[in-house]
């Protein structure tokens, strides 16, 4: 008899997270502590439980732009090396406690220069924090590995500079690059020079596309920019017609994405808040999983979307009836799609993920 599926048992399952924003995953109490230390007085609450509820409610706005406004508070308190290192170390501890064995955590270094930090100081402070977090987890008998993705903000014009930064730190566990921020009005092709540079450097990148804008954004991200993965990508369903008999007909772009096994970094809870999906039951992840796209499950922003990897899996279990075999499939999909080297991915699949799910299925 296999282990029953519930939030507690899901926590014990090995999970892989490819899409998690560092500045979207702070502990509420840490936001309060750091605000106090920095003399930041704009927080809407100084009680951790109330602040936690505020973030979720404010992010639940129906628009990506308004969802993103809540980041003003987390970004404001992450302007020193100490603050960045603390947030990074706690992020690792929280992911490990949730049973995440490999995560790619992303952030935009350009947002943390309000108090004069250089881009290099920002990256070094976060890397120090991640390594410290990994040490704490290992000392407590756990196992987790963190890779970093550096984001450039779509509304700014610094993507080439950030791409160069990512390449400079590629041997210090910065494993890739991304563009984030408002999607409508800021097409991926605005950053072509950055993506061309990264390809010439044999570097990896994903692009937030098909979240708050439709197929043209996805098409540009893949065919003009060369994205290896899609952040969200939910709107790929606009290129799929399901007829009355339930048979799916894929357009050229949807076929390309599926045939090429382009990973979709899906973040269901976040999509409900930004209006990218109307309900969990109608979330495109159901259809895309059925059609065997390379679907992965992610948190996006654990604070704003009030979720963990385990709670996302639990919500999918409730809505679609997914169980251990499906969770293993999502997890192996994610591990195959990670930006670390093939040997390490294979080792995690064979030594950690498969035995973990075999035990739950036994
Ligand atoms: O779902 C999302 N779509 C687009 N941008 C996002 C999303 N979540 C967070 N950020 C943006 O990415 C920055 C770097 O981490 C955050 O500051 C936020 O503005
Ligand atoms: Zn995101």
The 10s digit of each residue's pLDDT in 13-61 is 999 999 999 999 999 999 999 999 999 999 999 999 999 999 999 999 9
Ligand 1 binding pocket (C-beta < 6 A) is 21, 23-24, 64, 68, 71, 75, 106-108, 111, 151, 180-181, 208, 211, 270, 300-301
Phi, psi of 311 (to 5 degrees): -70, -30
Mutational test site, ligand 1, from 21, 23, 187, max ligand atoms within 8 Å of CB: 21
pLDDT at 1: 80
Our answer to whether residue 132 is catalytic in this structure is no
Q: Which ligand lies nearest to the CA atom of residue 271 in the structure?
A: 1
Question: In the chain, what are the domains?
Answer: 7-361 (3.20.20.140)
pLDDT at 297: 98
Residue 201, class by beta-carbon neighbours within 10 Å (0-12 exposed, 13-18 middle, 19+ buried)? middle
Could you tell me the two tokens for 212? 């708050």
- In contact, 362 and 2? CB cutoff 8 Å: yes
Alpha-carbon span 234 to 19, nearest angstrom:
14
Using the CB atoms, write b or e for 254-292: b if 16+ within 10 Å: bebbbeeebbbbbbbbbbbbbbbbeebeebbbbebbeee
What residue ranges of the chain have pLDDT lower than 70? none
Q: Which atom of ligand 1 is nearest to the CA of 75?
A: 17
Residue nearest to atom 12 of ligand 1 (CA): 180
Q: Average pLDDT over the chain, rounded to whole? A: 98
Question: Binding site annotation covers 21?
Answer: yes
Q: For 216-267, how does the pLDDT look when each residue is reduced to its tens digit (9 = 90+)?
A: 999 999 999 999 999 999 999 999 999 999 999 999 999 999 999 999 999 9
């Amino acid at each position: 008899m296999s282990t029953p599926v519930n939030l507690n048992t899901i926590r014990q399952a090995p999970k892989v997270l490819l899409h998690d924003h560092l500045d979207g995953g702070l502990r509420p109490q840490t936001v309060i502590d750091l605000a106090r230390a920095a003399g930041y007085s704009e927080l809407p609450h100084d009680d951790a439980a109330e602040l936690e509820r505020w973030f979720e409610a404010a992010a639940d706005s129906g628009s990506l732009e308004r969802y993103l406004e809540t980041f003003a508070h987390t970004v404001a308190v992450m302007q020193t090396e100490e603050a960045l290192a603390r947030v990074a170390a706690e992020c690792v501890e929280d992911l490990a406690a949730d049973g995440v064995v490999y995560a790619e955590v992303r952030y935009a270094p350009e947002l943390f220069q309000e108090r004069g930090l250089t881009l290099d100081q920002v990256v070094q402070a976060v890397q120090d924090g991640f390594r410290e977090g990994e040490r704490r987890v290992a000392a407590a008998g756990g196992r987790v590995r963190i890779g970093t993705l550096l984001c450039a903000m779509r509304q700014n014009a610094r993507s080439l500079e950030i791409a160069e930064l990512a390449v400079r730190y590629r041997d210090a566990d910065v494993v890739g690059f991304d563009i984030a921020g408002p999607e409508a009005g800021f097409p991926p092709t605005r950053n072509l020079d950055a993506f061309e540079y990264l390809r010439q450097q044999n570097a990896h990148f994903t692009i937030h596309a098909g979240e708050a804008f439709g197929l043209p954004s996805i098409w540009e991200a893949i065919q003009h920019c060369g994205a290896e993965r899609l952040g969200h990508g939910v709107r790929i369903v606009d290129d799929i017609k399901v007829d009355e008999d339930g048979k799916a007909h894929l357009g050229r772009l949807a076929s390309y994405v599926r045939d090429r096994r382009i990973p979709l970094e899906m973040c269901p809870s976040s999509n409900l808040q930004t209006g990218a999906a109307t309900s969990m039951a109608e979330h495109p992840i159901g259809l895309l999983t059925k059609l065997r796209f390379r679907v992965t499950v992610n948190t996006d922003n654990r604070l704003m979307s009030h979720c963990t990897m385990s709670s996302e899996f639990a919500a999918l279990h409730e809505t679609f009836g997914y169980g251990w075999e499906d969770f293993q499939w999502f997890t192996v999909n994610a591990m195959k799609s990670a930006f670390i080297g093939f040997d390490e991915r294979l080792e995690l699949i064979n030594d950690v993920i498969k035995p973990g799910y075999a035990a739950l299925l036994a």
